[in-house]
């Protein structure tokens, strides 16, 4: 946990980075706006586009729409802050403190690039999803379970056809399991080569079990764990996929750990504890299989 002296230096550096990032964004959007206005003026003065009806429509309608959009973007850049200083600096500092105080080694990276396949292996969402990471934590839990935690966005399509399948947290735990089982707030399984039967819905969840199998005690225990985690995590949606070699758990938090406004020692310690809770939930998932 942080004390005031420790927090002061970290908060000061974070606020400095936020200020610099905000100034950069404001400058970029302002320059784009000024440049576009100059283009509009130049087109009006040095071309004949305004001399016909089609040109007038293109100039005032489409030019006006772009101009309004840019004005809004500039306005937003002065009201909001970037989340990148939090992920690139603040959260790394907090994980470093956790490693130091707990005597552990959790490997943290932000905005990591790579050909991620955890979604295909878990089969929770479409195999065609593009994976974009904000935060990735890799390590071994207090009960010696190897895990990966991702703050991620899973997307298919683009533009008007863009569909966000997950904007939240995705956990992967290495664990051998005797069952193939999924619990979902919505949607259906996407695990390649496996056929599922939809079991009668339990509460607000859709439940899927490997074709030809029946619900056993372990699946019911997983249902209890998912229900408890959804409540404790204050999650809007939850997804569980139990495969033969791994446990995959994803959820959409009501309040995600993203950008931090007016950072203070209270907020720092809240994030510190939230990160520890995420790791604790790893063991809670695995302990379900030990009943």
Amino acid 111: pLDDT: 96
Rounded mean pLDDT of 80-102? Answer: 93
Which tokens belong to 2? 């942080």
Dist. CA 62–CA 59, nearest whole Å: 6
Whether residue 109 sits in one domain with residue 17: no
Same domain, 62 and 204: no
Q: Which domain holds residue 131?
A: 84-290
**Phi and psi for 49 in degrees, rounded to 5?**
-65, -25
Grade residue 248 by pLDDT with cuts at 50, 70 and 90: very high
- Write the CA distances from 106 to 67, 88, 97, 171, 180, integer angstroms: 47, 16, 10, 14, 29
What's the confidence (pLDDT) of residue 289?
64
The verdict on 70 and 94 lying in the same domain is no
Contacts of 157 (CB under 8 A, 6+ apart): 163
Chain segment 160-208, per-residue pLDDT in tens: 889 999 999 999 999 988 889 999 999 999 998 999 999 876 778 899 9
Question: CA 183, CA 169: separation in Å to the nearest integer?
Answer: 16
Reported confidence tier of residue 150, pLDDT bands at 50, 70, 90: very high
Long-range contacts of 32-39 (CB under 8 A, 24+ apart): 32/70, 32/73, 33/67, 33/70, 33/71, 33/73, 33/74, 36/66, 36/67, 36/70, 37/67
The total of structural domains in the chain comes to 2
Closest C-alpha among 115, 150, 108 to residue 133: 150
pTM: 0.87
Report residue 34's pLDDT band, with 50, 70 and 90 as the boundaries.
very high
Same domain, 58 and 152: no
Same-domain pairing of 52 and 161: no
Residue 110 near residue 140, CB atoms below 8 Å: no
What is the dihedral sign for C-alpha 256, 76, 39, 24?
Answer: negative
The Cα–Cα gap between 30 and 24 comes to 10
Q: Do residues 194 and 218 both lie within one domain? A: yes
Q: Do 40 and 162 fall within a single domain?
A: no
Q: Is residue 104 domain-shared with residue 204, that is, in the same domain?
A: yes
Q: Among all chains, which residue has been given the structure tokens 């784009």?
A: 32
Same domain, 68 and 116: no
| pLDDT top residue among 207 and 289 | 207
pLDDT given for residue 120 in this prediction: 94
Question: Which pairing describes strands 181-184 and 163-174: parallel, antiparallel, or unpaired?
Answer: unpaired
Is residue 23 located within the same domain as residue 163?
Answer: no
Q: Are 192 and 50 in the same domain? A: no
Percent of all residues in the chain with a pLDDT value above 70, rounded to a whole number:
99
Q: For position 201, what pLDDT does the model report? A: 67
For residue range 271-280, what is the model confidence (pLDDT) as tens digits?
999 999 999 9
Q: Are residues 25 and 150 in the same domain?
A: no
Residue after which a domain boundary falls, among 79, 107, 128: 79
| DSSP class of 104 | -
Calculate mean pLDDT across residues 8-30: 89
The beta strand positions in 81-185, using DSSP E, are 107-110, 130-140, 146-156, 163-174, 181-184
Residues of the chain with pLDDT > 90, as a percent, come to 57
* Residues 214-231: tens digit of each pLDDT: 888 888 888 889 999 998
pLDDT of residue 199: 87
Domain stops at, among 64, 79, 94: 79
Mean pLDDT in residue range 240-252: 95
Tell me the pLDDT band of 66, cut-offs 50, 70 and 90. Answer: very high
Q: Is the pLDDT of residue 57 over 70?
A: yes
Helix (H, G, I), strand (E, B) or coil at 114: coil
**Domain end residue (candidates: 62, 79, 96):** 79
């Amino acid at each position: 946990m942080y004390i005031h002296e420790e927090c002061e230096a970290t908060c000061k550096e974070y606020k400095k980075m936020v200020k610099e990032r905000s100034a950069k964004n404001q400058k970029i959007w302002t320059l784009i706006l000024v440049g576009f206005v100059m283009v509009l003026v130049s087109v009006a003065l040095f071309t004949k586009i305004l001399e016909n009806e089609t040109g007038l429509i293109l100039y005032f309608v489409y030019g006006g729409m772009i101009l309004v959009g840019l004005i809004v973007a500039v306005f937003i850049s002065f009201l909001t802050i970037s989340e990148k200083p939090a992920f690139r600096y603040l959260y790394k500092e907090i994980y470093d403190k956790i490693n130091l105080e707990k005597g552990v080694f959790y490997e943290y990276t932000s905005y990591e690039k790579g050909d991620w396949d955890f979604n295909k292996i878990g089969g929770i969402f479409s195999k065609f999803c593009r994976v974009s990471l904000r935060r990735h934590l890799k390590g071994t839990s207090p009960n010696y379970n190897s895990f990966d935690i991702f703050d991620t966005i899973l997307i298919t399509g683009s533009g008007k056809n863009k569909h966000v399948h997950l904007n939240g947290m995705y956990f992967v735990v290495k664990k051998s399991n005797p069952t193939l089982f999924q619990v979902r707030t919505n949607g259906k399984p996407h695990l390649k080569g496996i056929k599922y039967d939809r079991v009668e819905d339990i509460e607000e969840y859709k439940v899927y079990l490997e074709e030809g199998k029946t619900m056993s005690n372990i699946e019911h225990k997983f249902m209890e764990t998912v229900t408890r985690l959804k409540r404790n995590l204050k999650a809007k949606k939850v997804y569980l996929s139990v495969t033969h070699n791994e446990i995959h758990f994803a959820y959409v938090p009501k309040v995600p750990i993203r950008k931090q406004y007016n950072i203070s020692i209270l907020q720092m310690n809240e994030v510190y504890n939230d990160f520890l809770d995420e790791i604790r939930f790893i063991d809670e998932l695995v302990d379900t299989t030990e009943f």
